[in-house]
Amino acid sequence: MEKKTVFGIGLAVGLFVGMALMIATHFVLLPIRSNMLWGEVLSPEAKIMQIYSILERHSIVPFEKDVLLDNMYRGLLEGVGDPYTYYFNREALELFFERTEGTYAGIGMLVTMEPDDHFITVVNIFAGSPAEAAGLLPGDRIAEVDGADMRGKRTDEVTSLVRGIPGTYVTVGVVRGDSPEILRFGILRQQINVPTVHQQMLPGGIGHIRIESFDRVTCAQFSEAYILLRSQGMQGLIIDMRNNPGGLLETVVNIGNLILPQGVILYSENVQGERIAYESERDNRIDMPLVLLVNGGSASASEVLTGAVRDHGVGTVVGQQTFGKGVVQSLFMLGDGSAIKATIARYYTPSGISIHGEGITPDIIVEVDRETARMAQRLDYEDDIQLQRAVEVIREKF
């Protein structure tokens, strides 16, 4: 009987303690659960510090603080949902400045992001470059750099890895055509002086100037080519901007000053509705037949010049629908030497047309398949039906 009494008391005490623990647990967990459901008001700074503190104390995956923060800044700007708004750390910013100046250490190619599959794709290979010697081709899609997966990466991320110290090697893996196989090329980096302009005299006194990008050196190179061809008796001019992804607005405005009548080359409009007009300072209207040759790889600054030439009625546009990038980016420096590039305005042709997302439809459409379009800069004249049609248009104007 005594054992039963002790057992009964023990059972009652156990039940009481258990109920007390359940009640205590309920009231301890309830505020935490409530916070999880409803949240507290945290500043972004406090939330970032909380996350970093948790990772620092508990993560078994090693990480570098600087890499973590760089990715956070990039992610913040990706939240804008604009492919042209992004973050440059100091190293990436230095490479960006090198590229726009027209000299850098790399392998000698131009790339762009394909909008349909988000591959960084080669659009041009510089003549005599390490990339040409290795066997890279326009249209190659960059899948790897030094073994790291590049699919889904931004253009600046890929190019910053391809570039580096002259005399060092980089291994670039590409996907070519419809084959899933990755072709890998070991390429020696060299100092690259970007040849952004090429010229030749075609039969019949027709000058052909190809502009590959609008870098800081491009206007001087274009002016030199233009003067040279005129001295050789040029009677008509084809400006070829196929697969030209754009570049500096200042550069294309300066080139416009060489061939356009006095007046507006383009104007931009910002979020406040303020307009800035970029004008040709004097009447330098070209005094000979002019054709602009474009395709789906002609973007941004290429479209600025195309729209201005068309609106001023000084030339004919031949080729395929242009890319359709009609927005302006500006670089904003941050206090630690990094920067962000943000889209700050739309641009409009002189007649007020916005081509963003639409592109420019040529006056004379000459369709070619995608692979031929990518190889435009490397085609022989006999195989280049778009250039042949441009020549015909010039001759009709004589």
How far apart CA 160 and CA 105 sit, in angstroms, is 10
CA quadruple 140, 114, 252, 350: dihedral, nearest 10? 150
Contacts of 151 (CB under 8 A, 6+ apart): 118, 119, 143
Q: How far apart are CA 217 and CA 340, in angstroms?
A: 24
Tokens representing residue 251 in the block = 């550069």
DSSP 179-214: --PEEEEEEE-EEEE---EEEEEETTTEEEEEE--B
CB 199 within 8 A of CB 225: yes
From the candidates 156, 280, 325, 384, give the one annotated as an active-site residue. Answer: 325
Per DSSP bridges, beta strands 290-294 and 236-240 are parallel
Which one of 213, 311, 341, 384 is the catalytic residue? 311
Cβ(200)–Cβ(232) below 8 Å: no
Spatial distance between the Cα atoms of 91 and 68, rounded to a whole number of angstroms: 16
Q: How far apart are CA 369 and CA 376, in angstroms?
A: 11
Burial environment of residue 157 by CB neighbours within 10 A (0 to 12, 13 to 18, 19 or more): middle
Q: Where do the DSSP E strands lie in 48-138?
A: 86-88, 103-106, 109-113, 120-125
Catalytic residue chosen out of the listed positions 300, 302, 341, 384: 300
Distance CA 332, CA 213 (A): 22
Active-site residue, 311 included = yes
Instruction: Name beta bridge partners: 279.
Output: 264
Four-CA torsion 383, 245, 358, 319, nearest 10 degrees: -20
Active site residues: 300, 311, 325
